[in-house]
Amino acid sequence: MFRKKISTTILLFFIFTINATAQYYAAALGKNGPILKTVLHNIIKGHNSLLYQDLWAAFENTDAKSNGKVWDMYTDIPNGIPNFIFSFSTNQCGNYSGEGDCFNREHSWPKEYFGGDNSYPMYSDLHHLFATDGWVNNKHAAFPIGMVNSTTYTSSNGTKLGTGSTYPGYSNKIFEPIDAYKGDFARAYFYMSTRYESEDATWQNWEMANGAELTPAAINLLLLWHNNDPVSQKEIDRNEAVFLLQGNRNPFIDYPQFADCIWGTSDCIALAINENEWETSFSLYPNPTNNNLSVSTAINTNIYSYSIIDLVGKQIINNHSFTINIPTDKLAKGNYILQLNTNKGTVRKLFSKE
């Protein structure tokens, strides 16, 4: 029997034991371009594929607001009150004749292009499936997402359908989510292109992709949306919930810079951490941390100074002295590298700030 609720204790256990997801992505850290994409594919492939009918229950863990209602990106009004509010228990589609009638299961990457109904595991992959208003979902159909210039339909929260010039030579309709959720859809597409790399022999080509490989026009659009709408707490929480159900993660939520290192011009070499036996003797605790990070080592080593570096290689803190309790209270939430300068060389360790 599919369990509808995930225990908070279990969720916290997974969050803490993956150690800020660094171990999960260890093979990918420090790589760029197609090599990085292939390594990520190998990390996230072979996930636990749910049955399509199980998604109704799964959505109660992945797509619920704090008030227990459906988090529908097609009708939600960020920092406002939506015109339509769906309950998991009573508003599941069924039939609909207008916006607000019910919610259903939206394939953000249209199923028509990967084989249609019952094409598993894509058909039930929660990293690109969302609970959305059935009427607006139907408006999206299999049209590509992009920037609408001439609008033919607008949902209650501003989601648009119309025409635009995102894809050269394409004159049919385009679907545009609101700005607050553009990044969510971009990262879903990055995930799909990576998860199903080399597994797309039967996929169709369309304006956004050739098989699972994104087209240049789609890449330009999705990178723009990805950078203009950064990862939200909603996505972070959803990624954790999907991980518990499927056993795989969306790398572009955990490490947003991966997208630019694959499809853009960024360099992820700064993420490389290749530990030898000596370096593994160093431990950081608590990790994740809040106000202070402590360093311990099982061998006799003199630590002279330390630096804290973010995951795009920018130095955040450079301290010419060392204290065993390193203050982290002024750091923003996220993942960082602690660089220790010692009498035996440089040590780099990943940690997370809550």
Q: pLDDT tens-digit profile of 88-131?
A: 989 999 999 999 999 999 999 999 999 999 999 999 999 999 99
Residue 210 identity (one-letter amino acid): N
CA dist., res. 331 & res. 39, Å (int)? 30
pLDDT computed for residue 69 by the predictor: 98
Residue 118 and residue 197 in one domain:
yes
Is residue 251 in some structural domain? yes
Neighbours of 338 (CB within 10 A): 21
* Structure tokens belonging to residue 326: 């390193």
Q: Give the distance from CA 62 to its chain's centroid.
A: 13
- Total structural domains within the chain: 2
Task: Give the SS3 label for residue 104.
Answer: strand
Residue 219 and residue 280 in one domain:
no
Print pLDDT tens along the chain (354 aa).
343 343 333 333 333 333 446 678 889 988 999 999 999 999 999 999 999 999 999 999 999 999 999 999 999 999 999 999 999 989 999 999 999 999 999 999 999 999 999 999 999 999 999 999 999 999 999 999 999 999 999 999 999 999 999 999 999 999 999 999 999 999 999 999 999 999 999 999 999 999 999 999 999 999 999 999 999 989 989 999 999 999 999 999 988 999 999 999 999 887 775 555 567 778 899 999 999 999 988 777 788 888 888 876 677 887 767 777 899 999 988 888 888 888 767 788 888 898
Is residue 277 in some structural domain? yes
Residue 117 and residue 216 in one domain:
yes
Residue 30 and residue 124 in one domain:
yes
Closest listed residue to residue 73, CA positions, set 137, 166, 125: 137
The residue from 237, 263, 289 where one domain ends is 263
Please say whether the beta carbons of 284 and 294 come within 8 A.
yes
Is residue 126 in some structural domain? yes
Residue 121 and residue 189 in one domain:
yes
| CATH classification at residue 278 | 2.60.40.3080
pLDDT computed for residue 273 by the predictor: 58
Is residue 171 in some structural domain? no
Closest listed residue to residue 223, CA positions, set 256, 270, 249, 177: 256
pLDDT computed for residue 289 by the predictor: 92
CA dist., res. 332 & res. 129, Å (int)? 30
The residue from 263, 298, 331 where one domain ends is 263
Is residue 223 in some structural domain? yes
Residue 220 and residue 286 in one domain:
no
Is residue 148 in some structural domain? no
Is residue 167 in some structural domain? no
Residue 279 and residue 318 in one domain:
yes
Residue 189 and residue 252 in one domain:
yes
pLDDT computed for residue 312 by the predictor: 63
Neighbours of 193 (CB within 10 A): 25
- pLDDT single digits (tens) 296-311: 887 777 888 888 888 7
Residue 216 and residue 280 in one domain:
no
Taking the chain, what is the end-to-end CA distance rounded to the nearest angstrom? Answer: 34
Q: Give the distance from CA 54 to its chain's centroid.
A: 21
Residue 275 identity (one-letter amino acid): E
Closest listed residue to residue 185, CA positions, set 246, 253, 136, 245: 253
| CA atoms within 13 A of residue 330's CA, in its CB half-sphere | 5
Residue 250 and residue 196 in one domain:
yes
Residue 277 belongs to domain spanning: 273-353
Residue 304 and residue 224 in one domain:
no
The residue from 263, 296, 327 where one domain ends is 263
Residue 126 and residue 256 in one domain:
yes
* Structure tokens belonging to residue 25: 């992505």
pLDDT computed for residue 8 by the predictor: 36
Is residue 99 in some structural domain? no
DSSP structural state of residue 68: S
Q: How far is CA 26 from CA 20, 49, 338, in A?
A: 11, 24, 16
Crossing angle of helices 55-62/233-246, nearest 10°? 140
Residues paired with residue 110 on neighbouring β-strands, in sequence order = none
